[in-house]
A = this chain, B = another copy of it.
Amino acid sequence: MAAQTPLREFRLDRRVQFYETDAAGIVHFSWYPRYMEEAEHAMWRAAGLSIHAPEDAYGWPRVALTVDYLVPLHFEDEFTITIWVAELGARSMRYGCDLSRGDTRVATGSMTTACVTRDAEGAVRSTPLPGIVRERFAVSEARR
């Protein structure tokens, strides 16, 4: 069976929900990391993986987050989250993200996630990315 082509980027369409807005009438800034995470997990599913499978020994805690907010989003706006693999490190992954509404760029950001596992005593330890993750994802050279 032919190997699957590794995924470099993914696009997710989304609509702003009412509970994501705040009293300033725009989406609260804390929702952008959640939008980015939704796109990340959808990309993992598209790669045939789950970031949090019950039987899975790995965890993926966040190490770093950046968001630059360009124009606000409002209730019922339709927008697109584009996420791409910016770096596949020895023990971490970095994603780049873009949010856009039509032709308007709304925000841009990045997330870095460490790969961890638990040792025999239950302590969380950084660990090399599993082989399946290296197989299914590749850095987006165009975007990086």
Within 8 A of B (CB), among A1-27: 17-19, 21-26
In the complex, what residue of chain B is closest to A40 when comparing beta carbons? B18
For the residues of A in contact with B, the DSSP-based class is mixed
Q: How far is the CA of A18 from the CA of B67 in the complex (A)?
A: 19
Residue of B nearest to A111 (CB): B29
Number of copies: 4
Interchain CA distance A65-B51 in the complex, whole Å: 24
Interface positions of A from 61 to 89, Cβ below 8 Å from B:
61-69, 72, 74-76
- Which residues of A are at the interface with B, using a C-beta cutoff of 8 A? 17-19, 21-26, 28-34, 37-38, 41, 45, 50-52, 59, 61-69, 72, 74-76, 124
